[in-house]
C-alpha cells in the first residue's frame, strides 16, 4: 500500500537521473528497482518457519505449544497438571484436524477451479513432484551466454533513430503512441503470473500486479527511452544459472 501511494515515482526518479536533457537508462532503471525494493522491505514481514519431516499437516502453533506444556508437566511429575494438559491437547488436536478437514473440503467447492482441486488431491495423497536434476556440465554457463548474446556478437551496425514523422503529424502521433504504450504496459503488468519467481530485476510478480497502475507510467517511460536509444537495461537481460 505504501508503494501504491507513491504517485511521484516516475517524475522524481527521472529528474534525479537526467543530466543535460539526456537520461542514463542504466541508472534510471537501477533507481526504479531499488526504489521498489526499498518499499517492499518496508511493508514486508519476514518469518522463519521450521517444518519437521514427520510433521502432520494439521499441526498448528497452538498444538505445538500444548505439546510443550504436556512435556513440561510430565517432567515435573504433577499428575493434576498433566491431566489438564492432556485434556487441552486432545481438544486442540480435534479442533486442528477439523479445521484441516474443512480446508481440504474447500478445495473441491468450486468445480471451475481446476488448480485448486489438484491442490486438494495433492494434500490428500501427499503427492510431491521430484525436482529435476541439473546437468553438472561446467560449460553450460558459457554455452548459455553465447546463445543469448549471439545477436550482440554478430551485430556490427550502429544504432540510429528512425526518421521522425512530419511536423503536422508529430504531435498526434506522439499522443497516440504514448497512450497505447501505457495501456499495453498496464495490461502486461496485470497479466504477470504471481506464482512464478521474480526475474533478474528481483521484483515479485505480486508487486507488479497490485501496483500496476502506479508503475505503468515509469515502466512506459523506461520502455520509450529504451526504444529511442536502442538500449536495453542490463538488469533486464541478466541471466542467473542456479545449480540444484
Number of domains, the chain: 2
Query: Residue 104's domain spans which residues?
Result: 61-125
Provide the pLDDT for residue 5: 47
Look at the pTM and tell me if it is higher than 0.85: no
In a domain, 146, yes or no: no
pLDDT tens per residue across all 244 residues of the chain: 445 444 455 555 555 555 546 678 888 888 888 888 888 888 888 788 887 888 888 898 899 999 999 999 999 988 999 999 999 999 999 999 999 999 888 888 877 778 888 888 888 887 777 776 766 677 887 888 778 777 666 666 666 655 555 554 455 455 555 567 888 888 988 998 888 888 888 888 888 898 888 888 888 888 888 888 878 888 777 665 555 4
CA of 89: how far to CAs of 51, 61, 118, 120, in Å?
Answer: 20, 12, 32, 27
| 85 plus 32 within the same structural domain | no
| 74 plus 28 within the same structural domain | no
| 233 plus 189 within the same structural domain | yes
In a domain, 6, yes or no: yes
| 68 plus 117 within the same structural domain | yes
In a domain, 160, yes or no: no
Q: Could you say which of 105, 125, 145 is where a domain stops?
A: 125
| 25 plus 71 within the same structural domain | no
| 65 plus 120 within the same structural domain | yes
In a domain, 136, yes or no: no
In a domain, 155, yes or no: no
In a domain, 161, yes or no: no
In a domain, 222, yes or no: yes
| 121 plus 67 within the same structural domain | yes
| 180 plus 208 within the same structural domain | yes
In a domain, 84, yes or no: yes
| 66 plus 121 within the same structural domain | yes
Amino acid at each position: 500500500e505504501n508503494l501504491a501511494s507513491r504517485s511521484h515515482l516516475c517524475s522524481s526518479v527521472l529528474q534525479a537521473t537526467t543530466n543535460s536533457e539526456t537520461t542514463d537508462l542504466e541508472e534510471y532503471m537501477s533507481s526504479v528497482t531499488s526504489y521498489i525494493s526499498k518499499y517492499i522491505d518496508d511493508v514486508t514481514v519476514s518469518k522463519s518457519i521450521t517444518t519437521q519431516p514427520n510433521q502432520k499437516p494439521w499441526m498448528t502453533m497452538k498444538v505445538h505449544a500444548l505439546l510443550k506444556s504436556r512435556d513440561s508437566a510430565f517432567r515435573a511429575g504433577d499428575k493434576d497438571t498433566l491431566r489438564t494438559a492432556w485434556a487441552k491437547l486432545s481438544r486442540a488436536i480435534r479442533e486442528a484436524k477439523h479445521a484441516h478437514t474443512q480446508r481440504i473440503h474447500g478445495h473441491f467447492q468450486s468445480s471451475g477451479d481446476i488448480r485448486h482441486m489438484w491442490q486438494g488431491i495433492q494434500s490428500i495423497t501427499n503427492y510431491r513432484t521430484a525436482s529435476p536434476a541439473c546437468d553438472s556440465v561446467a560449460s553450460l554457463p558459457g554455452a548459455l551466454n553465447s546463445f543469448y548474446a549471439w545477436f550482440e556478437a554478430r551485430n556490427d551496425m550502429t544504432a540510429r533513430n528512425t526518421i521522425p514523422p512530419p511536423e503536422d503529424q508529430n504531435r498526434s502521433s506522439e499522443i497516440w503512441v504514448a497512450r497505447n504504450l501505457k495501456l499495453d504496459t498496464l495490461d502486461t503488468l496485470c497479466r504477470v503470473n504471481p506464482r512464478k519467481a521474480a526475474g533478474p530485476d528481483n521484483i515479485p510478480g505480486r508487486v507488479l500486479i497490485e501496483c500496476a497502475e502506479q508503475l505503468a507510467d515509469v515502466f512506459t517511460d523506461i520502455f520509450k527511452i529504451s526504444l529511442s536509444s536502442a538500449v536495453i537495461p542490463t538488469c533486464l537481460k541478466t541471466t542467473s544459472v542456479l545449480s540444484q
